[in-house]
Amino acid sequence: MPAIPTSHRVRQLRPTAVNSILAEVKQLQAEGRKLVSLMRGEPDFRTPAHIVEAAERALRNGRTGYADNRGELPFREAVAAKLKFYDPATEILITTGATFGIHAALTALLNDGDEVLLPEPVYDAYHSPILLAGGVIRSVPSQIVNGRFTLDVAGLEAACTARCRVMLLNTPWNPTGTVFTREELEAIGEFVLRHNLILLSDEIYESITYEDHVHISPIALSPELRARTVLINSFSKTYAMPGWRAGYCAAPATITQAMFLVLQQSSRGPATFVQDAATEALQGPQDCVAVMRQEYTNRRATVCRELSGMASCRVLAPEGGFFAMLDISALHTPSNEIRRKLMREHGVVVVHGSAYGPSGEGTLRVSFASGGDNLTRGLEKLRAGLES
């Protein structure tokens, strides 16, 4: 029987790096191999008790019907109170995680052939929603300067064409760990305004920063930039709620309405009781966020300490998020080849930097979203593999 053809847009898609590696992991595990994963960005903390209790309370109170398609008003009001600049009735949209927010924004904003500026190395799951929306990816290379990945305006200008409509920015920046400074964001913001672009600002790691690095949202820089920004966020990282699939977007009313039309056709949003729990997360005690940030700080220090002093690599200490990039360029071997050897010969799973674009070649991404014995054993295996 001949194969049934799929759409040209679907034929452009590729599995994400994590899903591709997971397939390799499952195959090795089926062969009886034991592996330690330092790959995924899934917090290993339990969702804080007061958030879980809010969901349980909502369930007992019968909060299981259809939610308001824009998001329950108390939830939107809690988001607006956090952000300060937005009308909860017209400028806040509740989504099933940040992933759907990105999809809705790109679908609402892009016409066929419109280009999206995408700094790289970057989280590779951004690629597919751009392509599905009919967009064209315009990669913007970055460089490692003074131990951190940096993005300069000259690179943005070189990549920008008359077809560019959107720029997608992630700060703290997955996978690099860079937290853009105010000065860097101001320069990017001026570029966005100069070229009449829309900025998609993915801020899901906003609460996880280290030392004197502080997350700054582009919406705080000027009313002019805020009027051209779609802010995207979720509860997965800050509140250890990855499986709850709760997120939100904030944007000018015309953009939010367009995104709402996309959402109506493809999602009913998070369950009502999930929205009640997320409202509690924003309005309830925040000491749980500080506790998790401190633990990530300790894990970051462990990664930097345990992988220091090797001729084969250096740790680019992350300024935010829970991934550390290892510079392995001294090995003069493709990062995916090294990643495979580490998994097959040493039993530790990481992600190769080239999965995130050419600027990531010569690096590996190491996750410390999980700690304890998993992190200890994983770092031991990783160091042994790199030293060999």
Yes or no: say if 105 and 132 are a contact pair by the CB < 8 Å rule.
Answer: no
Q: Biggest alpha carbon distance in the chain? A: 62
pLDDT the model gives residue 3 = 81
Neighbour tally for 44: CB within 10 Å:
14
- What is the DSSP code string of 136-174? EEEEEE-EEETTEEE--HHHHHHH--TTEEEEEEESS-T
CA distance 326 to 362: 8
For the cut 80, the answer to whether the pLDDT of residue 17 exceeds it is yes
pLDDT the model gives residue 66 = 92
- pTM as predicted: 0.93
pLDDT the model gives residue 361 = 96
5 cis-preceded (ω within 30 degrees of 0): no
For helices 272-283 and 49-60, the axis angle rounded to 10 degrees is: 140
Q: Sign (positive/negative) of CA torsion 365, 370, 371, 373?
A: negative
pLDDT the model gives residue 134 = 94
pLDDT the model gives residue 194 = 97
Label residue 260 by pLDDT band (50, 70, 90). Answer: very high
pLDDT the model gives residue 144 = 94
For the cut 90, the answer to whether the pLDDT of residue 13 exceeds it is no
The one-letter amino acid at 164? C
309: left (phi over 0), alpha (psi -120 to 50) or beta: left
DSSP element (H, E) containing 249: strand 247-250
Tokens representing 59 are: 């369930």
Closest CA to 120 of 99, 144, 147, 136: 144
Label residue 26 by pLDDT band (50, 70, 90). Answer: very high
CA distance 281 to 6: 42
pLDDT the model gives residue 6 = 84
Q: Sign (positive/negative) of CA torsion 142, 316, 289, 270?
A: positive
Model confidence pLDDT, tens digit, residues 303-323: 999 999 988 899 999 999 999
For the cut 80, the answer to whether the pLDDT of residue 367 exceeds it is yes
pLDDT average, residue stretch 353-368: 96
pLDDT the model gives residue 14 = 85
Yes or no: say if 306 and 317 are a contact pair by the CB < 8 Å rule.
Answer: no
Label residue 349 by pLDDT band (50, 70, 90). Answer: very high
Model confidence pLDDT, tens digit, residues 207-233: 999 999 999 999 999 999 999 999 999
CA distance 136 to 113: 6
The burial of 43, by beta-carbon neighbours within 10 Å (0-12 exposed, 13-18 middle, 19 or more buried), is given as buried
pLDDT the model gives residue 175 = 95
